[in-house]
Structure formats: structure tokens, C-alpha cells
């Protein structure tokens, strides 16, 4: 394949924006949303102090939710060529060629479809 043909097929994966499936991780934002939801459901419980046991439970809920989101992000990232590493990358590249030798690092930064020539 000529250099011109290879460069026209190349995609710089580092320039792609993060897909919407990857949600940002923000403990503070999640905690604020959970506290607001709690206050909407229990309007009589209007003041939640930092030392309140309810606040500790809400913080635990926000933390566990953030861990779940991180796990979903990691799973989704493993299926994306731009983010996959190791065995995940090998499995993704198997769709395009018999080996991942066309990928020049363990973190994909450039993709050239060898079967497109």
C-alpha cells in the first residue's frame, strides 16, 4: 500500500472526542443530586448536617453509584478501539486483521485497515 493510500485510510484516534457513553465521574455532583432527591421525597427533613447519619448514608450511596459508573465506563472503554489496551485491544483488532501487528503500541493511536488495500 502506498504512503498516500495509507495516510488516507489512517484515523488519528487521539483526536476523537470521548463518546457520550463514557459518563464523567464526580462524587460532589452525584452527592448533590442524591441529597436534592432525598429532600424532595422527605420535605420535613429540611436540614441535613454533615454529621447527620442520613448524610453519611447518602455519601455512601453517592460513592457506590460512582463506583458503578466507573465500572460501566471501564467496560465501555474496553470495547472502543481508541481506549482499549492489552487483550481487549487484541480482540478488537482481530476483526480487522489476523494480528494486532498493524497497531504500533498497546494503546491504539492510529488505525490502518490492512484489508482495505
pLDDT in tens, 28-67: 999 999 999 999 999 988 888 899 999 999 999 999 999 9
Range of the domain at 57: 3-13+25-116
Assess if residue 18 is contained within a domain: no
d(C-alpha 65, C-alpha 57), whole Å: 12
3-state secondary structure 103-117: CCCCECCEECCHHHC
Q: Residue 28: its pLDDT value, please?
A: 96
**Within a 10 A sphere around the Cβ of 11, how many other Cβ atoms?**
15
Q: Residue 114: its pLDDT value, please?
A: 47
Say if residue 34 is exposed, middle or buried (CB neighbours under 10 Å; 0-12, 13-18, 19+).
middle
Assess if residue 103 is contained within a domain: yes
Counting the structural domains of the chain, the total is 1
Assess if residue 91 is contained within a domain: yes
Assess if residue 8 is contained within a domain: yes
Global pTM value: 0.64
Assess if residue 108 is contained within a domain: yes
Under 8 Å between Cβ of 65 and 30 = yes
Assess if residue 7 is contained within a domain: yes
Res. 102 pLDDT band, cuts 50 70 90: low
Assess if residue 42 is contained within a domain: yes
d(C-alpha 50, C-alpha 54), whole Å: 9
* Strand-strand pairing, 110-111 and 11-12: antiparallel
Amino acid at each position: 500500500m502506498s504512503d498516500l493510500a495509507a495516510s488516507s485510510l489512517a484515523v488519528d484516534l487521539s483526536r476523537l472526542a470521548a463518546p457520550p457513553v463514557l459518563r464523567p465521574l464526580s462524587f460532589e455532583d452525584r452527592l448533590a443530586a442524591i441529597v436534592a432527591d432525598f429532600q424532595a421525597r422527605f420535605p420535613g427533613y429540611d436540614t441535613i448536617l454533615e454529621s447527620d447519619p442520613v448524610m453519611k448514608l447518602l455519601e455512601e450511596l453517592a460513592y457506590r453509584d460512582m463506583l458503578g459508573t466507573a465500572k460501566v465506563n471501564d467496560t465501555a472503554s474496553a470495547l472502543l478501539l481508541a481506549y482499549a489496551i492489552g487483550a481487549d485491544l487484541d480482540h478488537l483488532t482481530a476483526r480487522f486483521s489476523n494480528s494486532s501487528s498493524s497497531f504500533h503500541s498497546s494503546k491504539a493511536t492510529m488505525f490502518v485497515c490492512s484489508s482495505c488495500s
